[in-house]
Amino acid sequence: VGAILDVVFNHRCGDRQDEHGNWVLFSDEYTHDNKRLDWGPWALISNHPNPDLAGTGNPKEEFVYPAAPNVDHSNEEVRDSLKSWLNYMTSPRNLGFSSLRFDFVLGYGAKYVKEYVDTTVYPRGELCVAEWWYDGGVGDPAFTTAEMLAEYADAAEGHFGCFDFPLKTAIHNAALTEDWSLLGGKDGLPGLVGIRPHLAFTFIDNHDTSAPQTHYPFPDSVPKLLAAYSYTLSHPGIPCIFWLHLYGKQNAAGITNGREPDVSLTESAGRIDLRGCWVPPNNLGFSWEERHPGSEPWSVESQDGVQGPIYTGICGEEIKKMSLARSQAGIHSTSQVEVIESRKDLYQACITGRTAYGSSRSGASSSDFVYQLMVMIGPEAKKIAVQEAWTPVSIGSLHAMYALKTPVAHKEDTAVDEAHPHTFRTASSPSREEMVAGSHEYF
């Protein structure tokens, strides 16, 4: 298990005002002679629309985050400072974060993200992820397309991936409209996973889309949530599981980071050495900072009132089963997918994982087989004929997932088309007619 650092490099708030009233000065309990540690207005962009948040650095053409000063990434000294800090955070001798998640990269170029990962974790084989999400300037959370994400990631030569917001939109809309054909068809899969599966970080919800911000919350339905996870945890891409879907808030109460619960932490609002896990419910976000007037919707307490059943951890055990099946089957980011059925009431696909070799001799063997996952989503999922050799993984009112082993078909598989290189039509998966007839052999 490794920890991923949430890197907020687009905007940083100072804690003091300069002589013009701008919040662009940064305090430190120590004095420093070099600029790598002693930031000031020179490190921030000069064309912020709010004069109080503008610095004296270069202007930028990318999107400006309106609520805080924006960092000037075009300044080499700024980048040296950030890389130095990142190397400290990711060094095994120091804090040892395994990988990086970049927040709001809409505000700075892919070349800078590439520079940061290339000097830290990319050389040791870690894939980072960037949050590129654009609402079209009209507050439309579904505006971001797969092509937008691919263009940003391609500009960095694929040295990091992106959260697959357009796939979330497809899954989200499928659940809202109950049209499960939106999950994909014979011509491929929606979202970034359909064109750059090795760079697609797939997800159902995150801290921005769900409560308390609720920019784009998944429909509050347990059957639909489990159907969504049966898709992301069986399909290509790099799936992410939302903590509140897996454990919920209440189930996390006993996690104490290796320390015995200390009632004095809660009684003192966590201010005794600031090491507590519990956050006062009326505080802002997940911090120890007291909230300011008007920030009530962002408090920890507010989450309890707007989060429904899917945020209680009730789905956690089924999600764990599906995650384990994916791991055991060897499903990976570019696994082959055959979409068998795609219509409003049923989406069905067979996903191929790792190969198991039945003979030690060189060359193909009739004993070779592949591990696969068969997933059916929609109200018709339970009506599909189930083979005796299929092992149930997770079954609900709107989904069914099975694990199976299939003899290897020793012939060249063909991709659907160049735009969907990971989506195959292959003889190693049964057709719907074969499954209904029960003629396909599994072992």
How far, in Å, CA of 334 to CA of 197, rounded?
Answer: 6
Residue-wise burial string across 305-321, b where 16 or more C-beta atoms lie within 10 A, e elsewhere: eebeebbbbebbebbeb
- How far apart CA 205 and CA 245 sit, in angstroms, is 9
Q: Of the residues 62, 77, 103, 220, which is catalytic? A: 103
Q: Which member of 131, 164, 338, 341 is catalytic?
A: 131
User: What tokens does 333 get?
Assistant: 């980011």
Task: Calculate Rg over the CA atoms of the chain.
Answer: 24
Distance (Å) of CA 172 to CA 110, 156, 224, 229: 28, 29, 9, 12
Write the DSSP string, 219-234. PS-HHHHHHHHHHHTT
- Chain position carrying tokens 């054909």: 181
Q: Is 103 a catalytic residue?
A: yes
Is the separation of the CB atoms in 321 and 393 below 8 Å?
yes
Instruction: Tell me if residue 262 is catalytic.
Output: no
How many CA atoms are closer than 13 Å to the CA of 9, on its beta-carbon side? 29
Give me 421's structure tokens. Answer: 């290189």
Q: DSSP assignment, residue 77? A: H
In the DSSP assignment, the letter for residue 169 is H
What does the CA dihedral 81, 152, 190, 246 come to, rounded to 10 degrees? 0
Residue 79 has which token pair?
Answer: 């980048």
Cβ-contact 237, 127 below 8 angstroms = no
Q: Which are the catalytic amino acids?
A: 103, 131
